[in-house]
Amino acid sequence: MNKHLAKELEVQQLRNKIQTEVQDAVQQSQREYYLREQMKAISKELGDGDETSKDITELKEKIEAAGMPEDTKKEALKELQRLQRMSPNAADYGMTRSYIEWLAVLPWAKSSGVEADIPAAEQVPQRGPLRPAEGEGPHSGLPLCTPVEAGYEGANPLLRRTSGCG
C-alpha cells in the first residue's frame, strides 16, 4: 500500500512540475509579446516605425526572391527578426542589415560555369614553411605556397595561369 501511495505521490509531483514549467513558458511568451507591442507603439510614436518596417519588408522580399538554400534562408529570416527587434540606432543594426543584404544579393541559383578540377587540386604540391621543397631550407628566401593556397589554385583553373604557386 505504501509503495502505491509513493508512486501516486511521485506522479502527482511530476504533473505539478510539468504544469509549472508550461505555465512559466506561457507567461514568458505573453510578456515578450506585450513588450514587443509596446516597442512597436513607442517606435511608431517616435516616427521610426514606418521607415524601419518598410526596410524590413523589402529585405524579407529580397530574401524570398534570392533562391537561397533552405537552411540559409532560415538563418537569414532569423537575422531579419533580430534586426526587426533592434533599434535603428543600435550599434549592431548596420552590421546586421549589411549581412542580410549581402546574403540576399548573392547569386545562390546561378553558376559561374567554371568546373573545379578536384584531381588536379590534389596533385598540387602542398609545401609551406614547415614542409619546404627538396633542397630548400625554411629560410631560403621567398615564402612557398601554403596548403590552402595550393588547394585553391588547383581547384580554380583561372588562377593556375596567373599565380606563382605550384
Q: What percent of the chain has pLDDT over 70?
A: 70
Q: What percent of the chain has pLDDT over 90?
A: 31
Query: Does the predicted TM-score (pTM) go above 0.85?
Result: no
What's the gap between Cα 53 and its chain centre?
22
Q: Residue 99 contacts by C-beta under 8 Å, 6 or more apart in sequence?
A: 79
Give the largest CA-CA distance in the chain.
Answer: 88
Instruction: Report the C-alpha gap between 59 and 100 in whole angstroms.
Output: 7
pLDDT at 101 over 60: yes
Instruction: Report the C-alpha gap between 122 and 126 in whole angstroms.
Output: 9
